[in-house]
Amino acid sequence: MNTKLWSVDKNVDNLITYPQIKESADLLAKNEVIAFPTETVYGLGGNAQSDEAVLKIFEAKGRPSDNPLIIHIGEKDQLTGFVKKVPEKATILMEKFWPGPLTIIFEKLDGKLSDFATAGLSTVAVRMPDHPVALALINESKAPIAAPSANRSGRPSPTTAGHVMEDLNGRIAGIVDGGPTGVGVESTVLDCTSEIPVILRPGGVTREQIEAVIGEVKVDPALTDSEQAPKSPGMKYTHYAPDAPLTLVKGSREFIQQLVNKKRQENLKVGVLTTGENSTYYDADYIFTCGKRSELETVASHLYTALRSFNDAGVNVIFSEMFPNEGVGQAIMNRLLKAAGQHVIEE
């Protein structure tokens, strides 16, 4: 398959009238799959009402079909086409955070979406992306769009069109290049089907921000229990992993350097994931400075680029600092623990 690449300036007016948007939306209407930018990562979109399109998403990613997909919409009133009801707390959250990096889980109407998109569950995960290119493409396609991240399953999520091309060239119909994404980690997933909403995946909207708007929320135990059936994308299987084994280190810079030295004595090429505050301290074969520890949003926005850069550097082993497990740090640690297969060394 020839993968077409369209370049679109997200800052221009009336994007929906642009030929690149119209051509890519037309392919979506024909049940092809298209990668496109959102404010979090690039998504791999297909018509959520079509079994054919959704199965093409799973095939392109090499993703197990028991993992549900997020449905992306361009207007809030699209919800009435496939959602049973919108709870009051969900309405409040939509007013505050949509468009934006918050996915809300609702009870679904049967027969309105492909069962493959929801993995046969009675619920559906929905969000409205905060990106003009994504919104223009969804609205022009005139259908809800199922869209996981546009990478091969298990690989770091893509934050540029180049990352998508690296993973999916020849496997999908096209890629809409709208420039680098902003948030850098996927959306927060919040289940609003229970009285007290439950976070199923930490992401671009923090628990603290949600609780400031609607009060108490819980965190789903499936985030730490791999035996439970996933209600949310990104809860099952290893994700985000670079080619070389990644180890998280809970300890001092000196302890991390000792680990680096030991591996280099074994003639291994060692990479370190750190931040601007510590980048000049380490002596390793490859050091990636992933934002500033004092501004965790910068770490989140560079995280997947960092994990992919270790592949390009050809390292044999990677050590990463750990981050505070609060605010957006919860999302950062969630992704790093998955990428490391939960492998942590403590000083």
Say how far residue 214 (Cα) sits from the centre of its chain.
Answer: 24
Q: How many CB atoms lie within 10 A of CB 19?
A: 9
β-bridge mates for residue 255, sequence order:
none
Mean pLDDT of 5-10: 94
From CA 325, how far away is CA 322, in angstroms rounded? 9
Architecture of domain 246-346: 3-Layer(aba) Sandwich (3.40)
Residue spans of alpha helices (H) in 9-160? 19-29, 51-61, 88-97, 132-141
From CA 282, how far away is CA 271, in angstroms rounded? 10
Q: Which pLDDT score, from 0 to 100, does residue 232 have?
A: 52
From CA 347, how far away is CA 337, in angstroms rounded? 17
Q: What is the pLDDT of residues 131-184, one digit of tens each?
A: 999 999 999 999 999 999 999 988 899 999 999 999 999 999 999 999 999 998
Q: Which pLDDT score, from 0 to 100, does residue 64 have?
A: 76
Mean pLDDT of 307-322: 96
Domain ranges of the chain: 4-223, 246-346
Q: Which pLDDT score, from 0 to 100, does residue 224 have?
A: 56
- CB-based burial, 94-114: b 16+ in 10 Å, e otherwise: beebbbbbbbbbbebeeeebb
From CA 56, how far away is CA 291, in angstroms rounded? 35
Class of domain 4-223: alpha beta
Q: What is the pLDDT of residues 196-228, one digit of tens each?
A: 999 999 999 999 999 999 999 999 887 754 444
Average pLDDT of the residues of the chain: 93
Q: What pTM, to 2 d.p., does this model score?
A: 0.92
Whether 224 contacts 330, CB under 8 Å: no
DSSP character string of 78-94: GGGGTBS---HHHHHHH
